[in-house]
Structure formats: C-alpha cells, structure tokens
C-alpha cells in the first residue's frame, strides 16, 4: 500500500463544499434593481408639498387602493390631522391620496350632507392633479364616478331626502324616478 500525505488548508476544504453554480434559464424573469422612474420624483414632491401645506400625518401607507382621512382632538383642543392612502406611484394612487388630502384641505363638516363633502374632495383631488401636471386617466374618472355613486346611494339608504344638485348625475339607477 502506498499512501501519500496531502496537506490541506481550510480554504481547500471550503472549496470542496462550495454550492454548485445555478444556471437560470433565459425564459425565467428575474427581479432586477431598476432606476426610479422620473415621474416618481414628481409624486414624491407632491407628498412632501401636501404634508407641509396641510399639516397631516401619514398613519399608514396602504397597499390597497383605498384611503381614509380624519382629525383627532385632544382634551386641550389641539387638532391632529391623520391620513391613510396608497403611496402615489401612478395616476390612480395619486388621485386617491389627493382625495384624502382634499378632505383636510376643504375641511371636515364644511359640506352637508357627507356625500357632498365626498364630491368636493374628489373635485379638489382632480384640480390638484391638473395643477401638478398629473395625467387624469379615464380610470381615475371612473373611480371618482363609482365612489360618488356609492356615496349617494349610501346617503339615500340612510334617508337623504334631497340630493344636492352637484350629485344628481351620480344617483344610481335603482333610485331614479321614472319620468
């Protein structure tokens, strides 16, 4: 028997146990770190500008396309403005964000009934999008229309007697009186 002594270092041992190289087929998509889109800087600027102007705090950035705005008052009468919405990354999320900001901008309980407040928050949102040169897409307008139809239907279910003139075009079909 002929034995040879081989002196191995720690690195030699580690190289023997390296994981195999994995070859990913070309037809499999990989997530690649991409540069930020130029429009995103505009959306980021809108967020900063609105927070500075209207003094609200973001409680949470939602992953869904929904939002909520509210005010809290402490026992000393201090008002804390709060907001939840999706982070603006496109026209729809920007419209929803600005709609929620619109509630703070126009003031809560400024318009009665509540569905009229929703209307003016949407109008404020669209005006802010236009002022900031954000594209108002057909889907954004459809979202506004659906939201206002829902708000009017809810008000009618709860006993609203007279629909404000601004909202007459948003009365759902089941509440329209045949003439």
Counting the structural domains of the chain, the total is 1
The verdict on residue 6 lying in a domain is no
Q: What is the pTM of this model?
A: 0.79
pLDDT of residue 24: 56
Can you give the residue range of the structural domain that contains 76?
37-175
| pLDDT by 10s per residue, the chain, length 179 | 555 655 666 666 556 555 545 555 566 555 444 567 889 999 999 999 999 999 999 999 999 999 999 999 999 999 999 999 999 999 999 999 999 999 999 999 999 999 999 999 999 999 999 999 999 999 999 999 999 999 999 999 999 999 999 999 999 998 887 65
Q: How many angstroms separate the CA atoms of 96 and 87, rounded? A: 9
What distance in Å separates the CA atoms of residue 114 and residue 163, rounded to the nearest whole number?
A: 11
**Rounded alpha-carbon distances, angstroms, from residue 13 to 7, 10, 21, 28:** 11, 5, 18, 34
Q: Is residue 14 part of a domain?
A: no
Residue 140 forms part of a structural domain = yes
Distances (CA, A) of 85 to 32, 39, 79, 82, 176: 27, 19, 20, 10, 32
Residue 15 lies in a domain: no
**Is residue 46 situated within a structural domain?**
yes
Give domain status of residue 28, yes or no: no
Instruction: Give strand pairing partners of 72.
Output: 80
Calpha distance 11→76 (Å, rounded): 68
């Amino acid at each position: 028997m002929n034995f040879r002594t081989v002196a191995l270092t720690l690195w030699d041992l580690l190289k023997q146990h390296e994981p195999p190289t994995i070859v990913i087929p070309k037809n499999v998509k990989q997530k690649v770190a991409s540069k930020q889109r130029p429009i995103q800087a505009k959306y980021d600027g809108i967020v900063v500008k609105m927070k500075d102007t209207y003094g609200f705090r973001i409680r949470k950035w939602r992953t869904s396309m929904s939002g909520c705005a509210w005010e809290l008052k402490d026992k000393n009468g201090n008002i804390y403005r709060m907001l939840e919405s999706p982070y603006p990354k496109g026209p729809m999320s920007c419209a929803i964000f600005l709609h929620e900001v619109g509630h703070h901008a126009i003031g809560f309980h400024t318009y009665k009934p509540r569905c009229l407040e929703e209307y003016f928050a949407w109008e404020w949102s669209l005006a802010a999008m236009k002022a900031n040169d954000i594209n108002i897409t057909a889907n954004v307008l459809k979202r506004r229309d659906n939201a206002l139809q829902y708000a009017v239907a809810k008000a009618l279910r709860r006993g609203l007697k007279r629909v404000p003139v601004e909202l007459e075009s948003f009365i759902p079909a089941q509440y329209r009186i045949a003439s």
